[in-house]
Amino acid sequence: MIAIHYDCDPGQDDVIAIMYVLGSGKVDVQSLSIVGGNADVKQCARNAQQILDITGFSHIPVYVGAARPLARPLVSLPEVFGESGMDGAGYLPDPSTPPEEENAVDFMLKGTTPKVWVATGPLTNMALALQKNPQLAQHIEKLIVMGGCVYPEPIHGQLGNYKVPGTEGFAEYNFAVDPEAARIVFESGIKDITLIGVDITRTVLFNHKIEKALRENKKACAVLAADILSTVGPEDHQDYADCKDFPEDPVRGMHDVVAIAYLTDPELFQSEMLPLRIITEGPPYVAGQLLIDEERPDHPAVRVVTDMDRTKFLEKLIRNLNTLP
């Protein structure tokens, strides 16, 4: 089993990622830290605790961290994720236990977490911890991040160009929310960083065939995942409506769960090492853009996922979620 610390902002796709990793049987999630992102940080913590209760993992401690980015107001996009960040879930019982009293950043600084970290939200918690103690970078042996967009032009023909409607940029949400934090983390000296960008995750599509497979066995967690994933905002629907590469009625992309799958099933992925630079200046969704900086090869080299076996991933998604209650 791989022991991990998981930093996230649950969130529709985060809660599916939590279910995926807990159902994999390959990972020991020892702690969760919560950052404001898909919703207010307290709501995100509540979402995490509700999912842990439903999956039977309520013993995993949940630490509440940063409520807002380092230098910007929080943009949580309720029109996409809903006010709770978890549209589609319907009524869920109140959490059985409160979150830990200790702040997430203080918990990170204790150095007692596993040495493998996964981050699928804004990187504010990590950046705050690294600012307080840069030596924390030496404690983290492996970091897997869902964020950024390395190839805004299509590299495999899927879905066309990635560009945020109404903006001049192509920054992915997690990095656009707190670009300063992303830059601090990526330039911190953590030796092994893997990036799964939105240019990959948005090519992995939930569709009605997968929804049917999740509902078939009437397992509570799998059905909940189907309810959440089939709740589509107008942005997602328009984005995928005319997709020619996925004929099976595409509904929406899946993001954070793809990143967690890199941890459990790395053989499904292809990657390359690239020197990356994170832009922190400019208007929304320009700040947060990633550039391959070939003129500055001294920039931190990051393992960037460039392709994956989507069919096998979706098979594992169905299997993992159906192993849960």
Catalytic residues: 255
d(CA 122, CA 8): 8
d(CA 29, CA 112): 13
The single-letter DSSP state of residue 95 is: P
d(CA 259, CA 257): 5
d(CA 156, CA 311): 15
In terms of phi and psi (left: phi > 0; alpha: psi -120 to 50; beta: otherwise), the region of 288 is left
- Asked if 146 contacts 21 with a C-beta cutoff of 8 angstroms, the reply is no
Owner of token pair 């941890």: 263
d(CA 25, CA 324): 10
CA-closest candidate to residue 48, choices 95, 90, 80: 95
Phi and psi at 81, nearest 5°, equal: -100, -10
Beta bridge partners of 270: 307
Collapse the DSSP code of 293 into the 3-class scheme (helix H, G, I; strand E, B; otherwise coil) and give the result: coil
Element spanning 100, H or E: none
Beta bridge partners of 33: 7, 63
Collapse the DSSP code of 297 into the 3-class scheme (helix H, G, I; strand E, B; otherwise coil) and give the result: coil
